[in-house]
Amino acid sequence: MISSNLSTPRLGGMPKSLALLKAIGPYALLKFLMPGGTRIAILLWFYRHRHTKGHSGDSGHAGDTRHAAIPPAGGACASSRILVASAAAALTAGCTVGPGFVRPEAPATAYSRSIRATSITPGTFATSTAAAAATPQSFIYGGTIANDWYRLFKSDALDRLVRQALAGNPDLEGARHRLAAAQDELKAVSGAALPQIDAINEIGRAHINGSQLYAPVNALHATGNRYEIGPSLAYNLDLFGGMRRSIESQQAQTAAVRDQLRDTYVTLVDQVVVTAFDYAAVQARIQVTRSLVSKLQAQYDLTVHLENAGKVIHSDTLQAQTQLENVRATLPDLEQQRDAYRDALARLSGQTPDDFTMPPLTLADFTLPDQLPVSLPSALVRQRPDVLAAEESLHAASAEIGMAEAARLPQLSLSAQYAQQATRLNELFTQPGGVWSVGLGLAAPLLHGGTLAAREDEAKQRCAQALSAYRGTVISAFVDVADALQALQHDADSYTAHNRALQAARANQELAAAEYRAGKYTQLQVLTAEQQYQSAALTQVQADMQRFTDTAALLRALGGGWWNASAGALLGAAGADTPSNPSNPDRHYPIPSASSSHD
């Protein structure tokens, strides 16, 4: 042990080292150990300076350094006031460590070059088209996307399919329950920041001896019952904001779950619409194939008649039969595709194939929209649910840096307890037996083998990873829009070319059939014309369907208009309890440094 009688040089009646520590040490330590400690140090110095100066003036010994350094009578009380003031200053100046989250800005360039325009009017870009056979579509740059954008196709059957899916899809229902669970988790995490009050109730029996009073063992022997009841309080004062960062992280995670629900909603609508287009397209292919089978059957019957009349040879009849059966053989596969799309719509609607009723649906039931809205890039990053979810994941990762930094700093907590104790149950509330305790606890990490520093570095790297993922998601969103815009413009040109090819193939088919009856064409020429017509007709169906599909893809890529839907329709019961995004949209997000200090 260190002796307390060692002589020490004194300055003004105080040890020199103690005077130096009182004058400089605490403030320097605060500045070194605590983020934001400069403010605390200034407040403490200002309070001490005023306190010392006041006592010096009152004593009338302004020139006596001892009186300036040593408190007068009642110094213990003054020290208590300093302690209280220091604690108050620390609490009021307590900061939230870690980087403050700010929303990343959208890239300056996006997809405007993907719009090839032949005429430009304010807010409108018209797609180029090779001929008037394809209905031209125009883009309204900066236009608004309705949440029921599928109604642009003007199909009552499609509207009914989408409503059925939104009402019964199990994936959407599960996403809503997941959001509700995330909101409950947020409430639980937020509740941990409030004072925790519990009831302590105990019934026991014990034996003690003198050793528990630091006396000989045989000095005391007592055996008895003990009854205790009363409340206890525990409160983490969250001096450096670790709990606040934890709540912030959970808020961001809950918001990310909300955005994932929105993405499920938008994806479901898109899947129903595209699957309906696929179903109608297969129906059209079946119709074209059956029509071709009917024509080939008539051609085969004519060939048999001509063979019986001796005008053609038997090989011509076999060629006609081969062509007929080959085309007929494609029907089962097309019917299987149609049934698969029907079952897919049943699954999306949350129904079994037996319960699901497929409404009559053909490509002719759809109308291609003449005008399509195109969002500005700055609006797109606030509309796409996947981009918003990536932003909230970045927000959560940023908050976790603060949690890791706060874990390396002292933790201040308040605890209190009151209990009524008695040795007999009937005396618990009738006799004075109250005991209580209250106090502040300070716990500070000293040596953890570098674990806390490594956790902080890990949090910074995960934040940088989340930032990279966010950037990748934004780029993917822009690429989706650019692809859809380019596809629609190419679809118009392709549709026109396929339409011309179909007209030519139909004319050639009719000519070949007429010439064959007149005996000018061979059976091979007729079959070749039929094959060309079949290929052109099926390709035209595909081109028609592709324009509808790419239109839906553009509206999906632009976010699907979920922000124009009511919270109840979109989020269900969880819609009334979604957290807001506290991030600041006007600043850049700084990439955190991976450097660390000691534990």
Does the pLDDT at position 306 exceed 50?
yes
- The 10s digit of each residue's pLDDT in 417-437 is 998 888 888 877 777 778 899
Does the pLDDT at position 580 exceed 80?
no
Write down the pLDDT at residue 94: 55
Write down the pLDDT at residue 587: 37
**Percent above pLDDT 90 for the chain:** 42
- The 10s digit of each residue's pLDDT in 193-243 is 999 999 988 888 888 888 888 888 888 888 888 888 889 999 999 999 999
CA angle, 394 then 397 then 403, to 5°: 150
Mean pLDDT within 395-417: 95
CATH, range 203-237+411-444: 2.20.200.10
CB 349 within 8 A of CB 356: yes
Write down the pLDDT at residue 412: 93
State the pLDDT confidence band at 460, using cuts at 50, 70 and 90.
Answer: very high
Q: Residue 485 in 3-state DSSP?
A: helix
**Percent above pLDDT 70 for the chain:** 76
Write down the pLDDT at residue 424: 83
Q: Residue 474 in 3-state DSSP?
A: helix
Write down the pLDDT at residue 574: 65
State the pLDDT confidence band at 44, using cuts at 50, 70 and 90.
Answer: very low
Angle between helix axes 385-406 and 242-308 (nearest 10 degrees) is 150
Mean pLDDT within 562-587: 63
Mean pLDDT within 471-487: 93
- Could you tell me which residue, 455 or 523, shows the higher pLDDT? 455
The architecture of the domain spanning 118-182+244-397+452-570 is Up-down Bundle (1.20)
State the pLDDT confidence band at 531, using cuts at 50, 70 and 90.
Answer: confident
Token pair of 387 as six digits? 């981009």
Mean pLDDT within 459-480: 95
**C-alpha distance from residue 239 to each of 187, 225, 291, 436, 599 (Å):** 21, 42, 80, 25, 18
Question: CA–CA separation, 37 vs 28, rounded Å?
Answer: 9
Write down the pLDDT at residue 556: 95
Question: CA–CA separation, 384 vs 263, rounded Å?
Answer: 8
In the chain, what are the domain boundaries? 13-93, 118-182+244-397+452-570, 203-237+411-444
CA-nearest of 347, 390, 215, 362 to 285 is: 362
Write down the pLDDT at residue 437: 92
Write down the pLDDT at residue 136: 65
Mean pLDDT across the chain: 78
Quick count: other Cβ atoms within 10 Å of Cβ 118?
Answer: 10
Write down the pLDDT at residue 310: 83
Q: Residue 256 in 3-state DSSP?
A: helix
Token pair of 261 as six digits? 């629900």
Does the pLDDT at position 415 exceed 90?
yes
CA-nearest of 162, 267, 325 to 480 is: 267
- The 10s digit of each residue's pLDDT in 163-184 is 999 999 999 999 999 999 999 9
Please state whether 561 falls in left (phi above 0), alpha (psi between -120 and 50) or beta: left
CA-nearest of 28, 50, 53, 22 to 40 is: 28
- Could you tell me which residue, 452 or 14, shows the higher pLDDT? 452
Mean pLDDT within 245-256: 96
Q: Please name every residue paired with 124 in a beta bridge, in sequence order, or none if there are none.
A: 121, 140
Write down the pLDDT at residue 501: 85
Does the pLDDT at position 395 exceed 50?
yes
Quick count: other Cβ atoms within 10 Å of Cβ 395?
Answer: 27
The pairing of strands 221-236 and 196-209 is antiparallel
Write down the pLDDT at residue 68: 34
Does the pLDDT at position 55 exceed 70?
no
Please state whether 245 falls in left (phi above 0), alpha (psi between -120 and 50) or beta: alpha
State the pLDDT confidence band at 578, using cuts at 50, 70 and 90.
Answer: low
Write down the pLDDT at residue 141: 84
Mean pLDDT within 317-328: 88
DSSP state of 311: S
Write down the pLDDT at residue 302: 83
Write down the pLDDT at residue 153: 95
Does the pLDDT at position 589 exceed 90?
no
- The answer to whether the Cα torsion of 274, 276, 278, 281 is positive or negative is negative
- Could you tell me which residue, 480 or 125, shows the higher pLDDT? 480
Write down the pLDDT at residue 577: 58
Does the pLDDT at position 90 exceed 80?
no
Write down the pLDDT at residue 430: 75
Model pTM? Answer: 0.75
- The 10s digit of each residue's pLDDT in 339-379 is 999 999 999 999 999 999 999 998 989 999 988 998 888 88
State the pLDDT confidence band at 566, using cuts at 50, 70 and 90.
Answer: confident
Mean pLDDT within 268-291: 94
